[in-house]
Amino acid sequence: MKTLLKSLFVSSALTVALFAGALTLQVGDPATDPEALRSHAVLVARITACNSPEKTVVTATAEGVVNGIRKTIPLKVLSLSTAGTFAVTRQWPEQGTWAIKLVATNPVYVNYVTSVVVPIHQDSAQLAAARHYYHAPTDAEVSLALN
């Protein structure tokens, strides 16, 4: 019993250390941010980084299928006035099925990426169906959001 408790303590301490300097990417409803609403955002992304948050880069692409053909469109990510907050507006055609792929990187977090893939339905981000990854999403993972 004593060995089990000791093992649990060590593993929990390692887990806390692992996440102490985390880089995270979260998506939210633009209705919660007046600046995002004014820019007609489809979604808001928020990053947190314990170390050098100003060095974090967020990229986005619209991933879609139009008439059976897979499409990728680079998106402009708008930096909002609240530090670490970004907006994505609609920059893809109305035809087809679409998802937004967001990827956050920071040179302080070497070899670490955090990302989110959010399905879009009728100009609305389906936040409840968003999938979070701790790597750049693969084509197969993006395809899950498009089905």
pLDDT in tens, 80-93: 998 889 999 999 99
How high is the pLDDT of residue 11? 43
* Total residue count of the chain as it appears in this document: 147
C-alpha to C-alpha distance for 34 and 11, rounded to whole angstroms:
43
For residue 3, pLDDT over 80 is answered with no
C-alpha to C-alpha distance for 88 and 68, rounded to whole angstroms:
25
How high is the pLDDT of residue 1? 53
C-alpha to C-alpha distance for 136 and 111, rounded to whole angstroms:
11
Give me 106's structure tokens: 């920071």
Digit-coded pLDDT (tens) for 21-37: 688 899 999 998 999 99
For residue 17, pLDDT over 50 is answered with no
28 and 43 in contact (C-beta within 8 Å)? yes
**CATH class of the domain whose range is 22-146:** mainly beta
How high is the pLDDT of residue 21? 63
Give the pLDDT mean for 69-75. Answer: 96
In three-state secondary structure terms, 14 is: helix
Residue 9 or 110, more confident: 110
Each domain of the chain, given as residue ranges in start order, spans 22-146
How high is the pLDDT of residue 23? 87
pTM of the model: 0.82
pLDDT band at 72 (very low <50, low <70, confident <90, very high): very high
- DSSP labels, 51-97: S-GGG-EEEEEEEEEETTEEEEEEEPEEEPSSTTEEEEE--S-SSSE
